[in-house]
């Protein structure tokens, strides 16, 4: 029963408090990137009354504002296929959706009741809607997937860790095709085979293919510079077309055999090699027979290393999804030419209210945005709009693509195996997340922070006597390292004294936080980065260095009006020993943790990751500089020795890899010159 205290002054019941605009739903893991579309069948043919009378019937508050904005968009929306984007006050895209009838879909959001919490939060944050019409619903599906991957809206299911898959490429722009590992856009002429789930699987397969088909793996520049066969020819992993050890017709035959094998005609290739081996043996040409024997063994090794090789599935991708604790894992297995080419686990961000089929469907629409689909896609459960997805993928592939949930036989066994891997991968992920949460809690206790940090930024810089100076930032959050948010900073200022680490750190921090202020002016740690669990603003900034580096960072942030950013400097121990680090915080005594403290190990991991990333960035910059300047940058190396080095090793990369002894074998390079060259590429006294 309602009392007088529960009523407003006019006798009406109190208005409910506006729904929060954050992304928490109560206990348990946060709702990171929720939302799915409301089923088309749930939208009524006629528009709700709220659409035409929204301003009079909707109560005040963020939810009312959002409904009114959507109602305004409904009046102008087309009754045809298209894609719509929900925008917040900062013009950030909250959600991307597609519909067969955009007007009906948007009208369904204006209903006063019946929405899931994730939809309600999205509506409350919406201030505008943008619409793009398409000719068909299939086009809308493809455009939706493109926009989700590009814009990463926080209310969509997001495909994370979407690194490009490695392929095997047989080049087509040289008379002697090269076999190589390849990532990225498939623009180079040649034949691509894949995808493979890991680089290790590609490297292992290429090595075996070299033994089986004797194809070259060297670069074109190395190929053209050879005057005698290289070591790969001596160990029977190349037929040496570079020096004419095999003619054009013979090498072309090897290339054709390799293409046949990778295209699924492995039985015919093996039978042909076996016949050639028998013929050579019968002719008492035992050395040639041994070559065929070794090639057959290499082919057998390729097939035995691929794990489960199905008998009835030639080309397919197998997807299985597992849900636990509000988190999802999608395991993908790749089968090509009847062989298992590996698997990979994904952990898409999605609200816990999704069911597994919805997550899997949203995942698939994004997964094939930048890669060709196979003829068969096997799923662990039904997904919404499976037929529409199959039509879209068929258009993309230029051939019929089947999407199915197998019910019996070997295909069902493959899906079950993928489901087992998904469950185990998610279990490992949850265990890692729990460990990360304990470490963050321990870090907060050691440093006296009010709460565990959700976003940690670690900064480091690298240079050699002031040259090729580069700074770097790595980011860690509640789920580990967030590598898609790493940044590098090429030091631009010409006024810096060579080797001035303090000035370099100030420049890096100024550039980073000026941009952050422009993108997200409120340094309150609550504005979420698009598609990521960590906020935009760091809860803790870690500097690699001592009190001097800390003071330089304080000055830089104070000049930007950001004294509230929490800073920590981690100084290396005496003799740079790990485990003896000193921690410096502003206006506090230095802290030394116990050598076996897990929090100290955690800080070491953060620092080492920043160190690894900045060193990689510095080396890339230095190599580019070397290529532009030439080997003459090395003292005592002039044009003649440069030509001798390139003639001997073929490429700058091989020169960099060479040992002192190998360098000394080059005509005209003395032992002292070899040492100078080696030290140039492997500086022992690099300054970081």
- Decide: helix, strand or coil at residue 153: coil
Q: How far apart are CA 525 and CA 513, in angstroms?
A: 13
Q: How far apart are CA 471 and CA 457, in angstroms?
A: 13
In the chain, DSSP finds a helix count (H) and a strand count (E) of: 22, 18
CATH 3.30.1360.70 fits 463-620, yes or no: no
The 128-133 sheet, strands edge to edge: 93-99, 82-87, 128-133
Highest mean pLDDT among 14-28, 52-66, 376-390: 376-390
Contact 608, 576 (CB under 8 A): no
Correct CATH for 20-151 of 1.10.150.20, 3.40.50.720, 3.40.50.970, 3.40.1440.10 = 3.40.1440.10
Q: How far apart are CA 531 and CA 529, in angstroms?
A: 6
Helix (H) or strand (E) holding 24: none
Q: Taking Cα atoms as reference points, which of 20, 18, 47, 56 lies closest to residue 111?
A: 47
Q: How far apart are CA 21 and CA 11, in angstroms?
A: 29
Q: How far apart are CA 426 and CA 132, in angstroms?
A: 37
pLDDT band at 528 (very low <50, low <70, confident <90, very high): very low
Helix (H) or strand (E) holding 56: helix 54-57
Q: Which two tokens stand for residue 217?
A: 């793996």
End-to-end CA distance of the chain: 70
Contact 98, 141 (CB under 8 A): yes
| Structure confidence by residue, pLDDT tens digits, 557-609 | 888 888 788 899 888 766 555 557 888 888 888 888 887 788 888 888 888 88
Q: How far apart are CA 509 and CA 489, in angstroms?
A: 10
What is the per-residue pLDDT for 526? 43
* Weakest-pLDDT range from 1-15, 70-84, 170-184, 264-278: 1-15
Q: Is the pLDDT of residue 305 over 50?
A: no
Q: How far apart are CA 623 and CA 284, in angstroms?
A: 53
Q: Is the pLDDT of residue 379 over 90?
A: yes
Contact 540, 565 (CB under 8 A): no
What is the per-residue pLDDT for 319? 93
Q: Which two tokens stand for residue 207?
A: 């090595």
Correct CATH for 316-428 of 3.30.420.10, 1.10.1060.10, 3.60.40.10, 3.20.20.70 = 3.30.420.10
Q: What backbone phi and psi angles, to 5 degrees, belong to 305?
A: -85, -5
The 190-193 sheet, strands edge to edge: 179-182, 167-171, 190-193
pLDDT band at 465 (very low <50, low <70, confident <90, very high): low
What is the per-residue pLDDT for 320? 92
Q: Taking Cα atoms as reference points, which of 582, 578, 550, 575 lies closest to residue 565?
A: 550
Mean pLDDT (whole number) for 33-48 = 39
What is the per-residue pLDDT for 122? 86
The hierarchical CATH code for the domain 630-681 is 1.10.150.20
What is the per-residue pLDDT for 681? 74
* Weakest-pLDDT range from 234-248, 262-276, 372-386: 262-276
* Weakest-pLDDT range from 24-33, 82-91, 127-136: 24-33
Q: Is the pLDDT of residue 50 over 50?
A: no
Contact 23, 32 (CB under 8 A): yes
* CB within 8 Å of 84: residues ≥ 6 apart: 73, 77, 96, 97, 98, 99, 102, 105, 106, 129, 130, 131, 132
Q: Where are the alpha helices (DSSP H) in 332-474?
A: 356-367, 386-397, 409-447
Bigger pLDDT: 378 or 561?
378
Q: Taking Cα atoms as reference points, which of 683, 686, 660 lies closest to residue 673?
A: 660
Measured over the CA atoms of residue 500, residue 502, residue 503 and residue 504, the dihedral's sign is: positive
Q: How far apart are CA 373 and CA 383, in angstroms?
A: 17
pLDDT band at 351 (very low <50, low <70, confident <90, very high): confident
What is the per-residue pLDDT for 457? 92
pLDDT band at 541 (very low <50, low <70, confident <90, very high): very high
Mean pLDDT (whole number) for 170-183 = 87
| Structure confidence by residue, pLDDT tens digits, 607-641 | 888 888 888 776 766 665 555 455 656 666 777 77
| Domain chopping of the chain, boundaries | 20-151, 167-304, 316-428, 463-620, 630-681
Q: How far apart are CA 325 and CA 199, in angstroms?
A: 31
| Structure confidence by residue, pLDDT tens digits, 653-670 | 678 778 888 888 888 888
Q: What percent of the chain has pLDDT above 70? A: 76
Q: How far apart are CA 676 and CA 670, in angstroms?
A: 10
Q: How far apart are CA 354 and CA 583, in angstroms?
A: 43
Q: Is the pLDDT of residue 529 over 60?
A: no
Highest mean pLDDT among 348-357, 445-454, 666-675: 445-454
| Structure confidence by residue, pLDDT tens digits, 208-267 | 778 778 889 888 888 888 888 888 888 888 889 998 888 888 899 888 888 877 776 666
Task: List the beta bridge partners of residue 317.
Answer: 334, 377
Rounding to the nearest 10 degrees, give the CA dihedral for residues 344, 301, 203, 368.
Answer: -40
Would 20-151 and 630-681 be classified into the same CATH topology? Answer: no
Q: Where are the alpha helices (DSSP H) in 560-670?
A: 598-629, 639-649, 652-657, 660-664
- Decide: helix, strand or coil at residue 433: helix
Q: What is the mean pLDDT of the chain?
A: 76
Helix (H) or strand (E) holding 334: strand 327-336
* CB within 8 Å of 389: residues ≥ 6 apart: 141, 361, 364, 365, 383, 403
What is the per-residue pLDDT for 687? 37
Mean pLDDT (whole number) for 466-489 = 82
| Residue corresponding to tokens 């506006």 | 18
| Residue corresponding to tokens 């480091």 | 460
Mean pLDDT (whole number) for 45-61 = 42
Mean pLDDT (whole number) for 330-356 = 81
What is the per-residue pLDDT for 601? 85
Q: How far apart are CA 381 and CA 505, in angstroms?
A: 52
């Amino acid at each position: 029963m309602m009392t007088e205290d529960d009523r407003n002054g006019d006798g009406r019941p109190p208005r409910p408090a506006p729904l929060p605009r954050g992304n928490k739903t109560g206990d348990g893991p946060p709702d990171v990137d929720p939302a799915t579309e409301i089923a088309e069948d749930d939208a009524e043919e006629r528009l709700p009354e709220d659409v035409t009378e929204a301003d009079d019937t909707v109560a005040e508050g963020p939810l009312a504002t959002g409904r009114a904005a959507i109602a305004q968009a409904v009046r102008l929306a087309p009754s045809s296929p298209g894609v719509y984007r929900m925008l917040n006050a900062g013009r950030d895209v909250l959600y991307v959706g597609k519909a067969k009838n955009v007007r009906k879909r948007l009208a369904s959001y204006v209903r006063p009741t019946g929405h899931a919490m994730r939809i309600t939060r999205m509506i409350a944050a919406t201030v505008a809607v943008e619409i793009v019409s398409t000719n068909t619903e299939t086009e809308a599906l493809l455009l939706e997937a493109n926009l989700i991957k590009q814009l990463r809206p926080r209310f969509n299911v997001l495909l994370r860790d979407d690194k490009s898959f490695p392929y095997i490429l047989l080049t087509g722009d040289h008379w002697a095709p090269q076999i190589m590992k390849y990532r990225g856009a498939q623009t180079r002429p040649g034949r691509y085979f894949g995808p493979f789930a890991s680089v290790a699987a590609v490297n292992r397969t290429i090595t075996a293919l070299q033994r089986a088909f004797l194809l070259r793996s060297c670069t074109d520049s190395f190929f053209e510079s050879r005057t005698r066969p290289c070591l790969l020819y001596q160990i029977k992993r190349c037929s040496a077309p570079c020096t004419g050890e095999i003619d054009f017709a013979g090498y072309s035959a090897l290339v054709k055999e390799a293409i046949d094998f990778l295209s699924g005609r492995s039985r015919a290739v093996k039978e042909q090699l076996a016949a050639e081996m028998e013929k050579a043996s019968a002719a008492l040409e035992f050395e040639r027979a041994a070559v065929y024997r070794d090639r057959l063994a290499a082919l057998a090794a390729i097939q035995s290393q691929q794990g489960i090789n199905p008998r009835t599935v030639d080309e397919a991708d197998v997807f299985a999804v597992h849900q636990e604790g509000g988190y999802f894992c999608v395991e993908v297995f790749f089968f090509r030419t009847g062989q298992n080419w590996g698997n990979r686990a994904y952990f898409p961000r999605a609200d816990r209210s999704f069911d597994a089929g919805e997550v899997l469907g949203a995942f698939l629409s994004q997964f094939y945005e930048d890669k060709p689909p196979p003829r068969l896609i096997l799923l662990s459960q039904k997904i919404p709009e499976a037929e529409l997805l199959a039509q879209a993928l068929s258009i993309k592939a230029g051939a019929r693509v089947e999407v199915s949930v197998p019910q019996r036989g070997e295909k069902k066994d493959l899906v079950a195996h993928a489901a087992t891997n998904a469950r185990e991968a998610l279990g490992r992920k949850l265990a890692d997340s729990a460990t990360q949460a304990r470490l963050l809690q321990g870090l907060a206790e050691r440093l006296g922070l009010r709460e565990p940090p959700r976003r940690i930024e670690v900064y480091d810089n690298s240079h050699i006597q002031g040259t090729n100076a580069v700074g770097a930032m790595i980011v860690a959050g509640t789920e580990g390292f967030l590598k898609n948010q790493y940044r590098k900073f090429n030091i631009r200022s010409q006024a810096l004294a060579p080797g001035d680490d303090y000035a370099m750190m100030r420049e890096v921090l100024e550039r980073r936080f000026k941009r952050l202020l422009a993108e997200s002016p409120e340094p309150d740690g609550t504005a979420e980065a698009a598609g990521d669990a960590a906020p935009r603003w760091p809860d803790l900034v870690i500097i690699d260095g001592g009190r001097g580096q800390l003071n330089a960072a304080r000055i830089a942030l104070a000049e930007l009006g950001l004294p509230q950013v929490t800073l920590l400097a981690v100084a290396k121990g005496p003799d740079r020993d790990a485990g003896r680090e000193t921690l410096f915080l502003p206006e506090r005594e230095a802290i030394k943790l116990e050598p076996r403290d897990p929090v100290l190990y955690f800080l070491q991991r953060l620092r080492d990751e920043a160190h690894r990333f900045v060193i990689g960035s510095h080396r890339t910059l230095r190599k580019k500089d070397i290529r532009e300047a030439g080997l003459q940058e090395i003292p005592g190396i002039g044009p003649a020795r440069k030509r001798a080095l390139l003639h001997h090793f073929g490429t700058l990369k091989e020169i960099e890899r060479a040992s002192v002894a190998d360098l000394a074998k080059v005509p005209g390079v003395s032992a002292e010159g070899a040492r100078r060259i080696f030290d140039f590429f492997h500086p022992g006294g690099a300054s970081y």
